[in-house]
Amino acid sequence: MAQLTLSMILVISALIQGLSAPQSTASPRVASCVVPLSQTVRIPVNMLGASEQPDTRDTSIPTLLVSKGAVDELPEGPASFDVLQDGSIVIVDPLRKRICVFDPQGKFRKAWKIGFAADSVTLLRSGLLAIEESGTDILHVFDRDGIAKPQESAVIPKYGDARVLSGTSGVVNRVSAGEARSLEVNYDRQGSRLLSLQVLANDTEGNTFVAVEGTAAGDSGEEIRLNKAIRRYSSDGTLSREVSDIPLDYYVAAVDEVRVRDGKVYQLLTTNSEVRINVWNTNDQCQHD
């Protein structure tokens, strides 16, 4: 009976595969000005061995640390970053309970101990860094030399709210220079549905950067499939640039996957061999369809 059952499963699987139309994995067409990837900064990682303890004392180690994970435990490692005004990259290294700073090319500059695993780092308007403790969600403030500033407030910048209205449209209420403005977001990709909107940043020129998640999978797929794009809207609400198809093959699930600084979009993508910082410069000339 077991053999019959197994063969039945195989036959049905083969039949279903044969009868089904191939599932489209191609991304929907983008009608706006597409910004190409301009740089990938690569920072090597070490894999934590099964019986190994992370070194939480040595701040001179120039690599980041990830764990393998297991059945029912995700791999852990750098999940958040931010970019300083000079282009330096600040990354959390939670397994070593420290914060690392790399230059814009990915060369190790320094690290400092914080004494706890952090899962988020955010550059504040004051120039200080707010670091969130994983185990308690408490925000700690440090300066860029790693000196704790417990008396300083940690107000995470907020750039606006978004609302998805339908599968093809949404609205963003952006806050820029103390003024609230409404921005219409149209998602006119054929066969694709808008899933979510997030306001990432507003710059001094009035541009607003919005993360847009959508899916072409409909409800017929077996697993979650989607694409993610970052759009730059001008102060008059015109969609001027789009970074399409952000890679989403994370080894360590990102907490803060995208940051925007001076018109550049940065993505943190931790794999099992390196941390990649993908950079798209929306100030550059871009490709038109």
Where does this chain bind another protein (CB under 8 A)? Answer: 1-2, 4-5, 7-9, 11-12, 15, 18, 48, 50-51, 53, 67, 69-74, 76, 79, 94, 117, 119, 134-137, 161-164, 167, 170, 193-198, 211, 213, 215, 217-219, 222-226, 228, 246, 248-250, 253-254, 257
Rounded least distance, CB 68 to another protein, Å: 8
- Least separation in angstroms between residue 133's CB and another protein is 10
Min separation Cβ 197 and another protein, Å: 5
Phi-psi region of 96 (alpha: psi -120 to 50; beta: other; left: phi over 0): alpha
Minimum CB distance to another protein smaller for 214 or for 263: 214
Shortest Cβ 109–another protein spacing (Å): 25
Alpha-carbon gap, residue 40 to 26, rounded angstroms? 23
Closest distance to another protein from the beta carbon of 164 (Å): 4
Nearest CA to 138 among 147, 126, 148, 146?
A: 148
Give the shortest CB-123-to-another protein separation in angstroms.
20
If the CB atoms of residues 88 and 169 are measured against another protein, the closer one turns out to be: 169
For another protein, the closer CB: 7 or 283? 7
Q: Which is nearer to another protein, 128 or 270 (CB)?
A: 270
Instruction: Rank residues 49 and 86 by Cβ distance to another protein and give the closer one.
Output: 49
Given the complex with another protein, which of 84 and 171 has the nearer CB atom? 171
Phi, psi angles (nearest 5°) of residue 5: -65, -45
Q: Minimum Å distance from CB 34 to another protein?
A: 19
The residue among 86 and 223 lying less far from another protein, judged by its C-beta, is 223
